[in-house]
Structure 1
Amino acid sequence: MKYIYEAFFFSSFIVGIGIALALYVYYARKAKRAEAEEIPFERLGKFALAFSIVLILILTPLSIDPKRNPDPEAVTYNGKTALDGWKVAMNYNCMDCHTIVGNGAYYAPELVYIARKAGDGDMIKKLLETYAGTKYMPFYLSEEEIDALTAWMLYLKDLNTNNWPPMKENDYSFATSFDKNAVRWYESFDAWVVYWILTVFFTVFLVFGLFYWYERG
């Protein structure tokens, strides 16, 4: 799927429905064995149905990510898209030295933070252009390749990285300057994982309640 949050959202419903089906089979067999006139946990099913509907109506709007990642084909610079720049970056193995969202060699600067520090496209392009005595990096890029990389860096600048990797405040120098104290246990646990677990839990209640409501009808 294009966005990870939607993947979390829909997969949680699938898992929840599966668990609810398993619970329904278990309790239906139990009721049949007991030959009970009243379905077990009827009140619980009604409560779960109403409670789940209310919670889903409340939580569903919260699942909408207010800051989605930009479309790489929509970010352009001098006619080149961020997708073109990504191809150039992969062709020249930029991650052999740099890191991108913490992935790479941890030798040269983190490109996301460099892009954010540079700001606009013209400043980013100046960083990419080579001058006398500075031919070590980049590797004799053409003007079109530099424009493409600039578009890609503009895309990285607005990328929602969930504050990863953590850096020392106002320190954009090297990837090795990551602030190891910036990540605490309660910050490293993604809130979307919590939401996924809650959605599974409430989906179980919802489907479980619907089954019992259907049986009583």
Structure 2
Amino acid sequence: MYGTPTEMTGNAEIKILKNNDNNKENGKQGWISAFEGLQLHLYGLNIIMDNSQLLIPIIYIQDSNSLLELNTMTFTGIKLSPTTEAKGIIHINYDNSQFIAQSCIFQNIQIQSKGGNAIRILNNGSQPIISNIKGSQFNNINSIGDSNGRGGSAIYMENKFGKCQTKSDTSKDLPPTGYGGGIFLTGNGEYNPSTKRLNLKGMKIYGNSADKAGQSLYVAMTQLAEWCRTGIAGEYVK
């Protein structure tokens, strides 16, 4: 039992056996799903898969007041190929939820077709999503950007900072692509740097690439300069 004197040595293993059968994913949001405020805690697991390509996330979180905690988890050799829109291996889609990842490893991941990310956080409500990622590694992740050209092969996060209105730009036939090799971060409304909710202090991110800009990190939001100046020598950005 985890956390007891009799816990097993090393991680347990879960292998997804899709066997190239897309019917196994029909009508499902994720291989593991949490809805309506469910709190999901996963510890000490290695998640691998067969030679198939997944169409849906491995873990999908929806609805407000939900919580996902991953501790000492490894995702290896995952192939994701969503057919309708960009998805994440870990996909969180709503507001007022919390995501915690401690000592996790994402490695040797391929994301094709409509694109996506290892971790994809989308906020469709009015309340923020709280994310806390510590001591985790993202190695050898290859992904194309979503339909809007937004990258971040490791992490993509779109959060709410306040009330606002946005309008799409229909003047361009094709969206810009090639931004944010490792992390793509954007948000709506006014972000207050004094809250320190965006804290990348101590993060090590290197060896990434992007065709246009943001080899490791690309940020598009208000109060960007203030965020970079907060603390000592931009400590919350790097």
Q: Which has the larger radius of gyration?
A: 1
The question of a shared fold, defined as TM-score above 0.5 by the shorter chain, is answered with no
Does 1 or 2 have the higher relative contact order (CA < 8 Å, sep 6+)? 1
TM-score for both structures, normalised by structure 2: 0.20
Higher percent of residues as strand: 2
TM-score for both structures, normalised by structure 1: 0.21
